[in-house]
Structure 1
Amino acid sequence: MTRFDVSSIGFYVLDILGRPVTRIPDGGRADYIDEIRMTVAGTAGATAVDCAILGLNTRAVTTVGDDEMGDFLEAKMRKFGVECSLVRRTRDVQTSATILPVRPNGERPALHVPGSAAVFNVAAEDMDAALDAKVVHVGGTGLLRSFDGEPTLRLFQKAKALGRITTFDLIQANPETFALVEPCLPYVDYFVPSIEEASEMAGRKDPREVAAFFKQRGVKNAILTLGAEGVFVSAENGEEFHLPAFEVKVSDTTGCGDSFTAGVIVGIIKGWDLRTTAKFASAVAAKVAMGLGSDGKLVSFDDTIEAMNNLPVKQAAAA
């Protein structure tokens, strides 16, 4: 029996977001905008927070700087109910952080300091505790310089040896990233990248072909997020399907993919079929897109179920 529903391992970052931003003011002048927030973000961080909001018993496994930004991240996660005993501190570099001027259409260019993500690793003495969860999620391959490659592979291998369910997502993936990713794929139960990153690595664009590429290399379930076009799923048993995105007014797309992964993990814990899981995960992403930051307007499991059952879907994508 495991202690946690999910252990979210890897990339955690402080996001400082402002919206709407249409330009950088000239010289030392100022423009006025509607909203500024600081949030826990990242391919593991946002997923952890969103899992906790949705009611899962969640453990964070990462490294942050021994600075005020690290203080904020840990305090914010604890406020959401995330267990943080494996959030380690470093004095060598600052906490990973990103400034995101969010455009009126929800797009967000980024100014990023890699910081603590580059030195993160799971210490041998932390390994058993890091894997003490029904679902082991690894997020951030591509930016986890010390953890990418062999350390990630060893963690996945041990997770599967212990009978854990594994989920996997990336960040800023490109063709070179695939050398880090490929050895891990036979140990991945649910691979949840964006179509852009998956296409970069697979060298093809059609979602069906991209999913087949990764399944041929060991992934059991390939779940490709398609942004405004919804999601394409190729299940372990060979079933393939597409679900359209929900029709919502988008404020910010930051963290939508990370929140989608949180929805997938909820579905796994609940024992839902993959179609229901993907629909719920799409509703989670829609709630996040409606607000600013990686948690957006996500408030609870029940509220998300209501959104899943009542939000309209994009008709163009559904046709």
Structure 2
Amino acid sequence: MPSFDVSSVGFLVLDILGRPVTRIPDGGRADYIDEIRMTVAGTAGATGMDCAILGLKTRMVSCVGEDELGDFLLAKMQGYGMETSMVRRDGRAQTSATILPVRPNGERPALHVPGSAALFSLEEADYAAALDADIVHIGGTGLLKAFDGEPTLAFIKAAKAAGRTTTFDLIQANPETVELVKPLLPYIDYFIPSIEEAEEMSGRKGAEDVARFFKDHGVKNAILTLGGAGVYVDPATGDPFRLPAYDIDVVDTTGCGDSFSAGIIVGLSKGWELRECARFASAVAAKVALGLGSDGKLASFEDTIDAMKNWSTKEVA
């Protein structure tokens, strides 16, 4: 029996966020804003962190630099109860980091240093420990230069051979990214990209057509996040369905997709039907969007269940 509920593998980054930012001041002058935070982030990092906040036993598998940014990430993850023995330290690059000036409407342009994420990879000798979980989440394809392509394919094949459930998300996808992703698709049980990334990769428009593209290429369950429009799910069995987003006042959209993946993983770990997983994941993302950073106002499983049951949703278009 695996030791962990989830192993979160791949892209880990330190986010430095400030809000609200409406402009970059002229010259060397300063503007005053309400809040600045540093957070654990990334398509694997934030998802793993949110899984831990929601009560899952979580192993993080990634890479950071030998610097104070890496010290911060390790301390924060350990503070959330995450197991970090497979977060390798590599002095060849600084820890991956992003500066995010968050606009008043919650949008966040990014200034990013790829850093240590580009050095992350796994040897076959690492597989047993990295796969010591019921669910294996891979996040960050496209920014994991040493791991993208054949290394990721070998690892996800090993995950399926070991009987693991696989979930998958990526970041900053474009039409070129699909060539990295296509070989992986038959081994992905739950594919959870944003609609924008999925459209870029597939060259198609509209959730129904995009989801069908990925299912035709082997994905078992296609789950497309639609931002304020909710989520579209084309499951392995049964009819596709949509769920609306929760009706909230958005503070920051950073990490909402990562937290949605965490919600799906938590639901799967509890044996829920996929519709209930998606409802819960939408509540997780809403909790994150209420605050600054990848954890936002996410507090606990029980608090999120209460929101799922009692918060109003938007009207379905």
Task: Work out whether the TM-score is over 0.5.
Answer: yes
**Correspondence 1:131-280 to 2 at 5 A:** 131-280=131-280
CA distance in 1, matches of 2:228, 2:74: 32
CA distance in 2, matches of 1:44, 1:280: 19
Match of 2:119 in 1: 119
**TM superposition score normalised by structure 1:** 0.99
CA distance in 1, matches of 2:153, 2:267: 25
Match of 1:129 in 2: 129
**TM superposition score normalised by structure 2:** 0.99
Residue 24 of structure 1 aligns to a residue in which SS?
Answer: coil
Post-superposition offset of 1:237: 0.8
Post-superposition offset of 1:228: 0.4
What is the letter of the counterpart of residue 17 of structure 1? L
What is the letter of the counterpart of residue 109 of structure 2? P
**Correspondence 1:21-40 to 2 at 5 A:** 21-40=21-40
**Correspondence 1:70-109 to 2 at 5 A:** 70-109=70-109
* RMSD between superposed Cα atoms in Å: 0.6
Residue 179 of structure 1 aligns to a residue in which SS?
Answer: helix
Match of 2:15 in 1: 15
1:134-192 CA-to-partner distances (Å, cap 9, x unmatched) read 00000000100000000000001000000000000010111100110000000000000
CA distance in 2, matches of 1:189, 1:291: 30
Unpaired runs of 5+ in structure 2? none
Residue 74 of structure 1 aligns to a residue in which SS?
Answer: helix
1:107-126 CA-to-partner distances (Å, cap 9, x unmatched) read 00000000001010013322
CA distance in 2, matches of 1:105, 1:56: 32
Unpaired runs of 5+ in structure 1? none
Q: May I ask how many residue pairs the two structures share in their alignment?
A: 317
1:81-128 CA-to-partner distances (Å, cap 9, x unmatched) read 000000000010000000000000000000000000101001332211
What is the letter of the counterpart of residue 199 of structure 1? E
Match of 2:306 in 1: 306
Residue 298 of structure 1 aligns to a residue in which SS?
Answer: coil
Match of 2:63 in 1: 63
Percent identity reads 71
What is the letter of the counterpart of residue 158 of structure 2? K
Post-superposition offset of 1:239: 1.8
